[in-house]
Structure 1
Amino acid sequence: MSEQHKKDCVDLNISSTLDEVGSTMSDPTTTPGNGAGNVIAHVPVTLAQRTINTTLSANIHFDDPVLEIKDVKKRVKIIQSSLMLNPVAEGESPFGPNGGGHLFVRGFVRKNFQYASPTYRASDNCVTSEMRSHTVDLPFEFSTFIPEDEFLTPPQRPVLNSRSEYEFFRSQKLGKGFPEKDRFLSSDLSQFHQTSTQYYNQLPYCELISSSISEWDEATDRKPLHGEAPFEEGYFHDMVEKMFLSFTVKVLQNQQIVLDVANNGNGNGD
């Protein structure tokens, strides 16, 4: 097969202009309701939305000398979030009074420092520097309590697993030294019988909505530049940072809800 033929097989005449084509409305396929016009859906529901405030403090070290910080880019990263709810026993309603729950959150604040680092010619009266970057993760971990009356939707509390043992009666001979008519009456120690039930509960989870960071950075080992550099110029390797962190999270849980499809999902029929 020639090279020209290979080229013709894949060569497409592609225009940079897109033609507008027509389209028509198509009816979607919907789930029919039961006799009352309802369907049961398994969907995420919002349990709560919380704005959380916390503070952080950290000592940050730069391998290269820092003449001046030019910019700092920040990003909040949540790596673990869990809502601890009081469980219920088997047979109890998981949507009953819950007494509130503790939300545990763990994560990092990613900070990228863009800074000027003095070069070997920085001792001249004209300071020369190079742009560099330094990225650190500042960890945080805390818990916050959500009162029962502040849940937007009642959480489905976990149901406890159950485990029960049962035994069978057994009559045995006592052996030598006992009257023949006497018997040992008890359960059989050579057997073990048990019934158990496990519940696979829906775990609440979080989504990050927004975050806000206020910070204060201060060098702790700043030294003046040597030579004929201007007296106010200096460099440092270590700084202390204090940060006020505020972010909003949405707490969700997959639950089974009833939708009124006869009234476009409006359960009250309005």
Structure 2
Amino acid sequence: MDKEKSCINFNETATVGDCENTVATPIVTPSGPRIIRVPVELAQIDVSTNLVANIKFPDPVLEIKDIKKRLKIVQCRLLLPARTNLNFEDRTLPLFLKGFVRKNIQYATPCPNSSGKCVSSEIRSLTVDVPFECVTNVLVNDVQLPNVNTRSEYDFFRAQELGKGFPEKDELLSSDLSQFHQVSTQHYNQLPFCELIRSEITEWDEAIDRRPLPGNAPFEEGTFHEIVEKMFIQFRVKILQNQQVRITALP
């Protein structure tokens, strides 16, 4: 058999046609009170911060054509204290945030043989990550605080003979040092997590080393290698925690 003809060519044999469907009856929980575990919203906040960075280009830049930006969060951690008498509380807790802004800068750089009144250029791009890190205090509602692990030791009473040099009726009354007894408890608590809802970035980029083009180039044309950028970042995060919620299932 020809090896080239032994494999299926989906472009030739596969077809796309109409599919039929019918409404399926879902399997639901019978009516009555139930307990489910769902993500519960603890807080939804708008965070703002400022960034300043110097960016150097590997080529002389005639002009910036476009900048595409995307906010990325790599850490969003709500710092929880140990549980007190209540399991759920409303309190202000620190939220640690860490991330960066990914920037793809498209720019025009003059061609090596460009001269005279006409300036030829090539389009290139540079991708950089501008990091940020901050902490903010957040009022969270109905947060389930973690239960603390416990470890307890206990002993058993033991009477032992004192040996030579002591009256026969006297005994050593204490615990047994040759034995060790302990009870330990571990709680596997639910850690709060975050979702990024939206972001808005306002930036201002300015060249700091722009020089005119040499030769007979138009007087307003010039190139630079370094810019200073200032960014104002606003983003919305939702803080959630998996909790058990009591509901009533309808028939």
Does the TM-score normalized on the shorter chain lie above 0.5? yes
Matched, 1:52 2:50: no
Structure 2: how far apart are the matches of 1:227 and 1:69? 22
Q: Which amino acid aligns with 1:30?
A: V
Matched residue, 2:25: 27
Contact 2:202 2:231 in 1 (8 A): yes
Contact 2:90 2:139 in 1 (8 A): no
Matched residue, 2:123: 131
Q: How does 1:247-262 map to 2 (within 5 A)?
A: 247-262=235-250
Contact 2:49 2:232 in 1 (8 A): yes
Structure 1: how far apart are the matches of 2:167 and 2:65? 99
For structure 2, the residue ranges without an aligned partner over 5 or more in a row are none
Give how far 1:2 is off: 6.9
Q: How does 1:1-270 map to 2 (within 5 A)?
A: 1=1, 12=13, 14=15, 18-19=17-18, 21=20, 23-33=21-31, 37-89=32-84, 92-95=85-88, 97-148=89-140, 151=141, 154-262=142-250
Contact 2:78 2:96 in 1 (8 A): yes
Structure 1: how far apart are the matches of 2:224 and 2:160? 87
Q: In percent, how many aligned pairs have the same letter? A: 55
Structure 2: how far apart are the matches of 1:190 and 1:7? 73
When residues 5 and 85 of structure 1 are mapped into structure 2, their CA distance, relative to the original with a 3 A threshold, is closer
* Equivalent position SS for 2:250: helix
TM-score (structure 2 length as normaliser): 0.89
Structure 2: how far apart are the matches of 1:203 and 1:224? 57
Q: CA RMSD in A?
A: 2.6
Q: Report how many aligned residue pairs link the two structures.
A: 250
Give how far 1:177 is off: 4.4
When residues 13 and 111 of structure 1 are mapped into structure 2, their CA distance, relative to the original with a 3 A threshold, is closer
Q: Deviations over 1:104-153 (max 9, x none)?
A: 111111000000112223443322211101001111111111125xx3xx
When residues 243 and 187 of structure 1 are mapped into structure 2, their CA distance, relative to the original with a 3 A threshold, is same
Q: Which moved more, 1:170-179 or 1:186-195?
A: 170-179
Structure 1: how far apart are the matches of 2:149 and 2:5? 69
Q: Which amino acid aligns with 2:245?
A: I
Give how far 1:241 is off: 1.0
For structure 1, the residue ranges without an aligned partner over 5 or more in a row are 264-270
Structure 1: how far apart are the matches of 2:91 and 2:215? 68
Structure 2: how far apart are the matches of 1:125 and 1:8? 59
Q: Deviations over 1:81-108 (max 9, x none)?
A: 111122215xx4311x342222111111
Matched residue, 1:266: none
Structure 2: how far apart are the matches of 1:193 and 1:173? 23
Contact 2:199 2:234 in 1 (8 A): yes
